[in-house]
Amino acid sequence: MQKTDFMKEIEITSPSLFYIVEKLKEEFVGGYINSVQLIDGEEPLFKFKIHKQKTKELIISLKTIFICEHVLPVNPLSNGLIKFLKRKLDNQRIQEIYQDKNNRVICLRLDDYNLIFEFFSKSNIILTDLEFNVITSKQKEEWKDRIIKKNEKYLFPQNKDIKEVDIKQLMDETKDFDLKQTISYLVKEYNTYPGYLVGDTKEEVVKRLKEIYSFNNPLLYLEEKGEKEIVVVRENDSVVDNYKFFEAISKHYIENIKIDNVKEEVTKTKKQNSILESQEKTKEEYLEIASNLQKEGEAIYSYFQTIEKINEQIRLARDKKINETEIIEKLNLYFSKNQKELKVTKMDLKNKTYTLEII
């Protein structure tokens, strides 16, 4: 794996975040945060290890969020924010996860705090108390209608929620606009990615916008747009299309993380797989041995009376001082006439053993 010279920035759209949040609810509500770490790279990532039925890694980048199935290498020298979050969030249970309106903002309501991720502008991570008073943030920010700063009240961005209005209301809001003006209005007022607003008429555009939030089988994927890759969503109408968004986005970032650490993790995985394969092979060998022993035991049982007769004849022959070779010949002569599937191949009178083959 080679490190790329240039990593395209990934930016998420509001509808995509809506469906990601649905997945995060399923995976993490009721779980506990047990670690906060920093992943070095061209774009630093925040890792939140969350344990529910098992521990999974929630990764926060500048403009998106995803669950990573890989163990990504972290910087052991945590900075001030990481240390602070780790101390505050350790063993905090996730009570609720929700997206604010259709903003690119997610809130995790914990036992004692709100943990907020903003994926627009410069992006931010904000920790507040349950009354939304800011305790700390990755950075201070200020707009005309809101400020993010310690001890200030956190306010969500003031946009309208597309999910709370119907098509008729949207048509009324844009009744004096042409198609171009309608698209501009929807982008600004409802924080909508223009790529979703396709259609030849206002009605088609508005209907399309509403449909985005009601897909039965949503498919998330990366769409290249110049120097960016946009996380978009569409209805998955193909049963053979099994594109895995979290896997794809994980690969995107892994290719741009410290190469030595990634190799170390890959080697560790390969070693674990090798051990597993060896254990499986050993298990199969033991099962085969057990099966053979069972068959041999069953064979011995079925010839029990015959073996008893052989043992008695060998004792009589030994008392008469008959040597091993002659005993073997006489026994095999008997078998050739009566039980052709049996044959004595070896005998040791001193140690009182012999080998009886079942042909």
At residue 97, φ and ψ (nearest 5 deg) are -130, 125
Question: Greater confidence, 104 or 288?
Answer: 104
| pLDDT greater than 50 at residue 4 | no
Which pLDDT does position 147 carry in this prediction?
94
By CB atoms closer than 10 A (0-12, 13-18, 19+), residue 313 is: middle
DSSP classification of residue 195: G
State the average pLDDT over residues 216-221.
Answer: 85
| pLDDT greater than 90 at residue 241 | no
State the average pLDDT over residues 188-210.
Answer: 90
Query: If you search the block for the tokens 């674990």, which residue do you land on?
Result: 272
| pLDDT greater than 60 at residue 270 | no
In the CATH scheme, what is the code of domain 9-156+222-235+248-257? 2.30.310.10
Is 88 within 8 Å of 35 (Cβ atoms)?
no
- Binning pLDDT at 50, 70 and 90, where does residue 47 land? very high
Percent of the chain with pLDDT over 70: 81
The angle subtended at Cα 223 by Cα 13 and Cα 194, nearest 5°, is 45
Closest CA to 27 of 65, 53, 9: 53
Strands 228-235 and 9-12: parallel
- Averaged pLDDT score across all residues of the chain: 82
Alpha-carbon gap, residue 174 to 202, rounded angstroms: 8
Adjacent-strand bridge partners of 225: 228
| pLDDT greater than 70 at residue 260 | no
Alpha-carbon gap, residue 56 to 250, rounded angstroms: 13
| pLDDT greater than 80 at residue 264 | no
Which pLDDT does position 17 carry in this prediction?
94
Inter-axis angle of helices 202-211 and 179-189, nearest 10: 30
Is 118 within 8 Å of 139 (Cβ atoms)?
no
* 141 three-state secondary structure: strand
Give the pLDDT confidence of 158-189 residue by residue, as tens digits: 888 999 999 999 999 999 999 999 999 999 88
Hey, where are the domains in the chain? 9-156+222-235+248-257, 258-294, 303-358
- Binning pLDDT at 50, 70 and 90, where does residue 320 land? confident
